[in-house]
Structure 1
């Protein structure tokens, strides 16, 4: 798998994960419903900022691991792939349904952005996801870890802004769709689960060939 293929796989994986309704999407949806497009887009930018922090520690952590403890890299990569398989399996068996959206009330733009960033940073699944996934896409043969981290961060930010921004701009329609079509969100989650398992198997196999 070359670098371009790796980036496409990362893009598809991140897109699938972000598209699954969760606390971040609900935060954008709530602000879009209560404060309009401006509040929803502000919340989106706050989540993008939080995602940038996740990218930073994911990149630095992987770089330190490869530099100072390379022997641990392959076991961590395999463990991360196994975790992705487990998450994929739970998504396939789950019934993800958006049931309610809590109103956020009118508040300042700065507070909305701050709360959005905090929501992203307090999401434990995001930390585990970064720890599990980033070692599988940051490779020495692809060049500078800093440059790779910037690219992964830009991809993540672009996906976040596109998906969450779309929800913010069409909040009322998105709410009706999610509340009125529970089976759609269930099958979305299951589809993402299948993709996560396939991606984990591919990256684990590539990692084993490179680092075994």
Structure 2
């Protein structure tokens, strides 16, 4: 019996290395992959560190054209089965790097895409930015944003906050459910993936 392989693309806009933003992204990816595995679906996780493409993102904004590695990143993002997007928060909103990247994505390419949102910041008082800043941005792009978004403050990492762990697990399950509900991609994991459509054989008659 064949299994379906789903691709999750994780986009993290952390500016430092190591980064608490990347740490949160990795935990969200692990929770989502575990939940998909429980549903009988293998998962391939690909991580995109926006800091590695910062200059190319700015060039793409100026020229309207993405090339090289950045073009490959955009293909990964738009071709994913689900996205995990995590940004640090500055002045109560997502980072400029995160917004610049979203701005160069084809606005019609993410329609219906399951998305899990995460953010990091200094204190819990910034957590509402997920709902009044990041969520509206992705809703505007007609993505399917899962109900639970995850914010991690600096103190959460030191305390190993159990509430944060539960929230990560719940968000991962929600993304997994949204991804699993999508039609399986036709490809190597589908035994009939290379079978031509009957209408095509008839020449569209």
User: For this structure pair, what is the TM-score category when the shorter chain's length is used for normalisation?
Assistant: under 0.3
TM-score, normalised relative to structure 2: 0.25
- Greater share of helix residues, 1 or 2? 1
- Greater share of strand residues, 1 or 2? 2
Q: RCO higher in 1 or 2 (8 Å CA, sep ≥ 6)?
A: 1
